[in-house]
Amino acid sequence: MSDNFYRAFEDKFRGSRELILSRLNVYLPFIRPIKELNGPPNALDLGCGRGEWLELLDREGFDATGVDVDEGMLKACEQLHLTARKADALSYLESLPDASVGVVSAFHMVEHIPFDALQQLVQHALRVLVPGGLLIMETPNPENLQVGAHTFYYDPTHQRPIPPMLLAFLPEHYGFARTKILRLQQDPRLDTAHAPELMDVLGGPSPDYAVVAQKQAKAHTLARFDHAFAQDHGLTLHTLATRYDASRAQQVEASQSVAQQALTSADSASSVAQQALSSANSASNVAQQALTSADSASSVAQQAFADARQTRELIVNLEATLQHYQHLTVITEQRVNDLLNSTSWRVTAPLRWLSTALRKLLALPWRVVRFGVRALLLPAMRFVLARPSLRQTIRSVLKRFPSVAHRLHLLAIHRGLVPAPATPAAPAQVPPTPAAEPAHPLTPHARRIYDELKLAVEQHNNKVKETLNP
């Protein structure tokens, strides 16, 4: 592959030099204790590329050397006066003596070489590192599904993605003292995102990861690196997927709750509609009965009209009487309506209840009535008699219930609640007014009709009296 192509490819897809330098700062807590080990701090960067890591090592005081086979990349290192050589990485590593390097690094290189070459790289790195020295390998993270299935293959020189657990297993297997997986370049927003979206699960895990392995050394030497190895970096695919599932489960539960509430509301609406339908059916039945009654009344009226043709003269004579009673009926109905809508009717509701209770009590055995009177009636009478305005209202109401009023009056006199009245003179007997007879003699058929009308008028009057004196 020509040097110009790969240099242009790195510039477009790898990121700017400033961006890469900022990302490399995550390794500083690991490499700074290296400078406290015996001997000058030196480092070897395999596949050094444009030299960002070499530049950072140089700033930190390391004697760093890079190797790469791409001349276009090496020119970028030469322009910055960094030490970089054109050589095969594995061959150059094999040529180094034992325990001669403090840091061996391979940034985005291991995915370019066969797996057996990667195994040799790890073994030779262990050999050339000083006790406590570090092997750093950074590569694309296939836990990020967008990387593992898509962007990894942007680079035509990539061979295959390497899972983090496999890359971490290699240095463990070949004798390194400890390893650490660093998941890198993750969106900081996801650290506290308890309800990630689907794209966060697919492309949210760290796009890159690194395995940092340390060679065995004395305990006090390894202790200098404990803090760096104890820190966690990035989120796994499993963590984001678990958060996604939990948030979706909460959303489903909330949706089910809303649906249940809607179903309950629908049931309530259905019940109300059913009640309304039942009420409508009842009203329809009442209307049907009224219609039937109206039909019956119409038939009776037609028959009466036929009979009236024969007794026209009698009807003319009784018309004034009928109008008079109709007028009385209207007045009576108006009075009843006024009474039912009046304040006194509402105020005396307890007394009507009391009257009903008294009627029931009077129908009971005398001992029960006597006990009920003592328990309820006497305190109520004292309460009413102590209030003149209420007493007057009750008196006007009791006029419609003469039998109840008479018994209450006798009871009040007997209990000493009111004084006994003087005995009045016997009123003169007024003879009843005889019913008006027709002015002209009637035929037998007319007499029968007259008697029937007279009986109907009397029955009507009795009904009016019963309405006024329930």
Q: What is the pLDDT of residues 50-63, one digit of tens each?
A: 999 999 999 999 99
Domain that holds residue 222: 3-247
Same domain (yes/no): 211, 303: no
Same domain (yes/no): 204, 309: no
Residue 204 has pLDDT above 70, yes or no: no
What's the pLDDT score for residue 361? 61
Higher pLDDT, 276 or 102: 102
Total structural domains within the chain? 2
What's the pLDDT score for residue 65? 97
Residue 345 has pLDDT above 80, yes or no: no
Q: What percentage of the chain carries pLDDT values higher than 70?
A: 78
Same domain (yes/no): 365, 242: no
Nearest-angstrom CA–CA distance, 239 and 252:
20
Question: What pLDDT, in 10s, does the model give residues 385-408?
Answer: 888 888 888 888 888 888 878 888
Same domain (yes/no): 212, 305: no
Domain end residue (candidates: 206, 221, 247): 247
Mean pLDDT of all residues in the chain?
81
Higher pLDDT, 392 or 440: 392
In a domain, 453, yes or no: yes
Residue 115 has pLDDT above 90, yes or no: yes
Which phi and psi angles does 341 have, rounded to 5°? -95, 0
Q: In this predicted structure, which of 217-231, 234-248, 271-285 has the lowest mean pLDDT?
A: 234-248
Task: Concatenate the DSSP letters of all residues of 230-265 into one string.
Answer: H---S--HHHHHHHHHHHHHHHHHHHHHHHHHHHHH
Mean of the pLDDT values across residues 224-235? 90
Mean of the pLDDT values across residues 426-444? 56
Enumerate long-range contacts of 463-469, CB under 8 Å, 24 or more apart.
Answer: 464/328, 464/329, 464/332, 467/332, 467/336, 468/332, 468/335, 468/336, 468/400, 469/400, 469/401, 469/402
In a domain, 409, yes or no: yes
Residue 218 has pLDDT above 60, yes or no: yes
Same domain (yes/no): 413, 307: yes
Same domain (yes/no): 131, 206: yes
Higher pLDDT, 111 or 198: 111
Residue 414 has pLDDT above 70, yes or no: yes
In a domain, 291, yes or no: no
In a domain, 115, yes or no: yes
Same domain (yes/no): 324, 453: yes
In a domain, 215, yes or no: yes
Same domain (yes/no): 243, 307: no
Q: In this predicted structure, which of 144-158, 182-196, 378-392 has the lowest mean pLDDT?
A: 182-196
Residue 365 has pLDDT above 90, yes or no: no
Domain end residue (candidates: 219, 247, 275): 247
Same domain (yes/no): 171, 233: yes
Q: Tell the residue number behind the tokens 């899972």, with chain if given.
A: 163
pLDDT band at 39 (very low <50, low <70, confident <90, very high): low
Nearest-angstrom CA–CA distance, 12 and 467:
103
What's the pLDDT score for residue 444? 81
Same domain (yes/no): 217, 338: no
Residue 19 has pLDDT above 90, yes or no: no
Residue 202 has pLDDT above 70, yes or no: no
In a domain, 430, yes or no: no
At 10, list the tokens.
């790195």
Q: In this predicted structure, which of 80-94, 316-330, 362-376 has the lowest mean pLDDT?
A: 362-376
What's the pLDDT score for residue 430? 47
Q: Tell the residue number behind the tokens 């590593």, with chain if given.
A: 93
What's the pLDDT score for residue 229? 96
- Reported pTM: 0.52
pLDDT band at 146 (very low <50, low <70, confident <90, very high): confident
In a domain, 185, yes or no: yes
Q: In this predicted structure, which of 3-7, 259-263, 424-428 has the lowest mean pLDDT?
A: 424-428
Question: What pLDDT, in 10s, does the model give residues 287-329?
Answer: 688 677 767 767 776 886 677 677 676 657 767 777 887 788 7
Domain end residue (candidates: 184, 213, 247): 247
What's the pLDDT score for residue 266? 77
Which phi and psi angles does 67 have, rounded to 5°? -130, 145
Q: What percentage of the chain carries pLDDT values higher than 90?
A: 33
Task: Concatenate the DSSP letters of all residues of 54-112 into one string.
Answer: HHHHHHTT-EEEEEES-HHHHHHHHHTT--EEE--HHHHHHTSPTT-EEEEEEES-GGG
Same domain (yes/no): 219, 320: no
pLDDT band at 109 (very low <50, low <70, confident <90, very high): very high
Give the CATH number of the domain where residue 117 resides.
3.40.50.150
Which phi and psi angles does 377 have, rounded to 5°? -70, -45
Residue 261 has pLDDT above 90, yes or no: no
Same domain (yes/no): 223, 303: no
Nearest-angstrom CA–CA distance, 97 and 39:
15
Residue 131 has pLDDT above 50, yes or no: yes
In a domain, 270, yes or no: no
Residue 349 has pLDDT above 50, yes or no: yes
Nearest-angstrom CA–CA distance, 240 and 329:
86
